[in-house]
Amino acid sequence: MSIQITMPALSPTMEEGNLAKWHVKAGDKIEPGQVIAEIETDKATMEVEAVDEGVITEILVPEGAQGVKVNTPIAVLMGEAGASAAPPTSGAGVAAAQQSEEASPPQGRAAASRASVHGANAGVVREVGQRFFASPLARRLAQQGGIDLSGLNGSGPHGRIVKRDIEAVLKSPRPVVQEESRALTRSAPHAEQRTPAPYKTLEQHGIRAGSYDIVPLDMMRKTIAKRMTESFRDVPHFPLTIDIEIDGLLKARADINKRFAEQGVKVSVNDMCIKAAALALKMVPESNASYTPDGIAMHHHADIAVAVTIPGGLITPIIFAAETKGLAQISHEMADLAERARTKKLKPEEFQGGTFSISNMGMMGIKSFASIINEPHGMIMSIGAGEKRPIVKNDALAIATIMSVTVTCDHRVVDGALGAAFLKAFKGFLEDPMAMLL
């Protein structure tokens, strides 16, 4: 039985990837658990393992291929004679069956070879698998009918969702709320199709041909460009800026590092900002939220995503439940995440999600800036450099170390008063570091 192995979806948002390396070649026999390829996304490089055995008869996509769309056939596997395998879950990187479900009865349909992602979060893979554990026709009918596949139990082999399952849902009475929601979605202004402005070449802008070189966009730059454009265009955002005196913070940091140096503790200002932001989010819980079409999501924990610069762009590893962790633990986790981020060794669950973002450019000498919101976060914090500035204290001029902090807020979730309340709480923790110990 000939089976196509397809480009896996290594995360719910992945649309394409680079085939970084093949570990097999045509003619090789593979066994379950064997690593057959390495796939590079915009954030990480991950191994793909075989689940079924057989012989690779053809490599369809060469090693080093860029921008391979999810579900594109990348190799052909000849399964063991008479063997049957589980049906494909295209979102988890499994092979697609060749026969149409209408062309043969369920018991006679060809089964497919699956692949698993080595090192990826099992929960993420299961979620993706459940969402796409359906035939192509069923997925198309579900999309046309506005049906959420994640809530269906399939009647096909191994629980696969097939055409008759979708038809049964379409024939059954639909909840009024769901119909109203679909109607609102269709009528909402943001649901209208937008026609992108036609692209103009540099020559059309007046730049002479031959006066520049083009550096091709890699996966990371493409993703950053797409997501930041969508966020800046679609999210009604506004900035709030506050100045914070951090002399007490700097002294507390120095004392902590001196006292616990033998234990290998080295806390940074950024670590203390992470802790302060997490506590401020818990003190002002309405600010730890995300906008959804169904309502405002109020998060249970302060999961802080921290921007880390890596070659070609940036990534935001997450300190989960930061409000529950001490400064030493936050410092250790952040150092480990940053190191693995730079070598593209992070797992998807370590950089996808979060409830709040921090971008710190103080070490680069940037005094003040405003970041673009990282959806679905309700806010993103931009931290500038601490510097000596003249201030008025007790009606007299004085010198203090001041740090400017800006939060960009999603006005659908965090309005001006709420953003100001968060910043007030954040400032209180930084200007009185002992409060973070309570």
* Catalytic residue set: 411
CB 130 within 8 A of CB 354: no
Task: Return the residue matching tokens 């940091």.
Answer: 253
Is residue 164 packed enough to be buried (19+ CB in 10 Å), middle (13-18) or exposed (0-12)?
Answer: middle
Residue 294, both tokens: 């169904």
Q: What is the C-alpha radius of gyration for the chain, rounded to an integer number of angstroms? A: 26
CB 305 within 8 A of CB 374: yes
Task: Return the residue matching tokens 């995360």.
Answer: 11
Residue 181, both tokens: 């929601």
Residue 206, both tokens: 């007046």
To which H or E segment does residue 333 belong? helix 327-342
The neighbour count for residue 61, using CB atoms within 10 Å, is 17
> Do strands 115-118 and 289-292 pair parallel, antiparallel, or not at all (unpaired)?
unpaired
Sign for the CA dihedral angle at 104, 105, 108, 109 comes to: positive
Residue 329, both tokens: 């633990």
The neighbour count for residue 117, using CB atoms within 10 Å, is 23
Query: How far is Cα 379 from Cα 428, in angstroms, rounded to an integer?
Result: 19
Among 354, 349, 353, 352, residue whose Cα is nearest residue 121: 349
- The residues, any chain, with a CB within 8 Å of residue 2's CB and separated by 6 or more, are 57, 76, 77, 78, 79, 98
Sheet holding 45-50, edge to edge: 68-69, 16-22, 35-40, 45-50, 115-118
